[in-house]
Structure 1
């Protein structure tokens, strides 16, 4: 038990350092770059994040459950199958993503960074997910630190010391270097696992079977990630690139909550939920969901209080009136993030049971709710329309998943029983 607690604390410390690094970066970008440049960075990062799902097809959701079901001697074969699918997806989608630049959604001068980072981010993301699934949390955190933390520290220090490097290209170059280092570490750890089964022929029948499961989840993921990508483009359309810079800053602060939860709560609890359900351990499943509920709500409430107290002094330090003028956005974005975080409680409880349909339907509905709500709000509150649309969208997800959890979960697996 002591070893496990030490491992969790170490994992939280590493991911906390990653979070602090990203947090530091977004503030220094806000201080040293023009708001319009920060807006471009936000669009770039959001487009990268969305494109990752096209390269992975969320196939890991199927692979993870299959890995946990079978013997370790078969894992190499399953990962080889996933790798074969990845090569096919690269061949299809990488050329199509060139339309992002041909249509002018992103400036052409960042195209090289875009495709380099897209491949690096995808490979490191999949390796990180594998390490989480096999409960190798420490290395998963180290990969994440290289991918998202260390380079941010280096970029921040360089911008602080040398005014001449305060450019978007320098930031993207540092990001690329960090992702490359994370990839090398992930490959090293994968080799040290000494998995067998790599000589097995690619099982395209298994891949097609997995795609039938993963594509349904992919539709749901694309819908929810569509909300997190469309919001930035919609803000730019409604109020311009400068205000988008403020939106990216505030959303960067709020998204720190999800990083904390991923590091200290979700990464430790959800593999156990899957295992407990597979073993028909109802008591273990209930205990896992109860821990998920208490820790998620506790962290969310604490984060919200600290964020509301500290946002004023942080904006004063930035000394850019534009950000202070847009402060009204922050409480709405914070509320949206808390709603999204709490919605992950029934999400993981459903996912562990293989109850994918409510997840899929709620995510698709959330995109529709976001578009409709934002369109309506934009007629009355242009500045707040997108933020209020996010709140409506994530509230709909929370309600749908919670209702589905109590409706579909057998009585012995529910934490609240009549």
Structure 2
């Protein structure tokens, strides 16, 4: 996240509303900005090894994977922005699913390969393949704009827009760190393992919605705003709302139904004993997904202040809710607090969206 500085929050909107002939120059300028951030932050990242957070033997895997993952993520975002969501979904599958599935099969067939080096090598190969495939698609962009000089004003404006987003994103992402520490503090490592397992299932729901709904619809929202097409904007937002709500609850129900047999198969009693954690975690994720509807509306309308303020408030709301609920409940208070936090995000963003002149009746 720090490597990219959340610059995509600025560049994505600019790319969608800009003539295709200028895209290559914009991507070049974005790449120059990332080169600067890499030059500053990569050396600073060695502190992770100096303080002993990671062992030095991982240093030769850490930095290539860090860079490759960031590049693959940016390519995925770019493909969504230029209306290539299918390509983006394929690259996302290669990056997150394909290599992991193939590695699991190999490790099952060849137990002697069950060591960290093999997994890291497979990860590197998978994300490298995703990057190569993405570059193959992006090479078809019109390169005539590369003759233009670097637009430093555009980069500086992007930094001003992206920096508050970075702080807001850090606040929101912190929820997914503190919740785990809190679970461990209340119930220990075994329950934490169950919670992380359930959270992984819930995150898969959000990934599915990203690929199936958001990557197709939010570029259209931004384009409609760029055309000053209020009617088209409302139609796209309504479409996103219907699809997100239906899929969120359908996939959530399927996840709950299928998790039971999976837990029985892996024979982990602690998971069965804490199934309410699964229900609340999935419920919180469903609310989070629905809150993305007004989020993308505000983002398309460039109502950044509303997004940033809501995200900055999310962390203290989570803390207050968890402290209050933990007086009456045990570990279940944490996913309930997440549900409360995401409900706040939805209500706040929806209210701000309704106040927007673009959506005035």
> Which category describes the TM-score, using the shorter chain as reference length?
over 0.9
TM alignment of 1:23-34, pairs within 5 A: none
Q: Work out whether 1:288 is the aligned partner of 2:236.
A: yes
| Alignment match, 2:44 | 96
Distance in 1 separating the partners of 2:167 and 2:185: 25
Report the TM-score, using the length of structure 1 for normalisation: 0.80
Taking a change above 3 Å as real, the CA distance of residues 232 and 134 of structure 1, as seen in their structure-2 partners, is same
| Alignment match, 2:21 | 73
Structure 1: stretches of 5+ with no match in the other structure? 1-52
Distance in 1 separating the partners of 2:269 and 2:95: 32
Taking a change above 3 Å as real, the CA distance of residues 276 and 213 of structure 1, as seen in their structure-2 partners, is same
| Alignment match, 2:72 | 124
Match of 2:285 among 337, 350, 353: 337
SS of equivalent residue, structure 1 residue 193: coil
Taking a change above 3 Å as real, the CA distance of residues 101 and 335 of structure 1, as seen in their structure-2 partners, is farther
Once the two structures are superposed, what CA deviation does each residue of 1:380-412 show, in whole Å capped at 9, x if it has no partner? 4342243223222211111111111112243xx
- In the TM superposition, residue 58 of structure 1 has moved relative to its aligned partner by 1.3
Aligned partners of 1:56 and 1:122 also within 8 Å? yes
Count of aligned residue pairs for this structure pair: 361
| Alignment match, 2:111 | 163
- In the TM superposition, residue 125 of structure 1 has moved relative to its aligned partner by 0.7
- In the TM superposition, residue 54 of structure 1 has moved relative to its aligned partner by 0.4
Taking a change above 3 Å as real, the CA distance of residues 325 and 69 of structure 1, as seen in their structure-2 partners, is same
Taking a change above 3 Å as real, the CA distance of residues 409 and 208 of structure 1, as seen in their structure-2 partners, is same
Instruction: Compute the RMSD of aligned alpha carbons.
Output: 2.1
Structure 2: stretches of 5+ with no match in the other structure? none
Q: Work out whether 1:135 is the aligned partner of 2:83.
A: yes
Distance in 1 separating the partners of 2:120 and 2:274: 26
Match of 1:312 among 251, 260, 265: 260
Q: Point out the more displaced range, 292-301 or 211-220.
A: 211-220
Aligned partners of 2:24 and 2:141 also within 8 Å? no
Match of 1:406 among 343, 350, 354: 354
Q: Work out whether 1:277 is the aligned partner of 2:234.
A: no
Match of 1:207 among 155, 158, 162: 155
- In the TM superposition, residue 71 of structure 1 has moved relative to its aligned partner by 2.0
| Alignment match, 1:41 | none
TM alignment of 1:1-400, pairs within 5 A: 53-103=1-51, 105=53, 110-400=58-348
SS of equivalent residue, structure 1 residue 56: coil
Once the two structures are superposed, what CA deviation does each residue of 1:294-337 show, in whole Å capped at 9, x if it has no partner? 11110011112212222211100111223223323111111110
- In the TM superposition, residue 233 of structure 1 has moved relative to its aligned partner by 3.7
- In the TM superposition, residue 266 of structure 1 has moved relative to its aligned partner by 0.7
Taking a change above 3 Å as real, the CA distance of residues 375 and 106 of structure 1, as seen in their structure-2 partners, is farther
Distance in 2 separating the partners of 1:119 and 1:60: 16
SS of equivalent residue, structure 1 residue 255: helix
Taking a change above 3 Å as real, the CA distance of residues 106 and 237 of structure 1, as seen in their structure-2 partners, is farther
Report the TM-score, using the length of structure 2 for normalisation: 0.92
SS of equivalent residue, structure 2 residue 2: helix
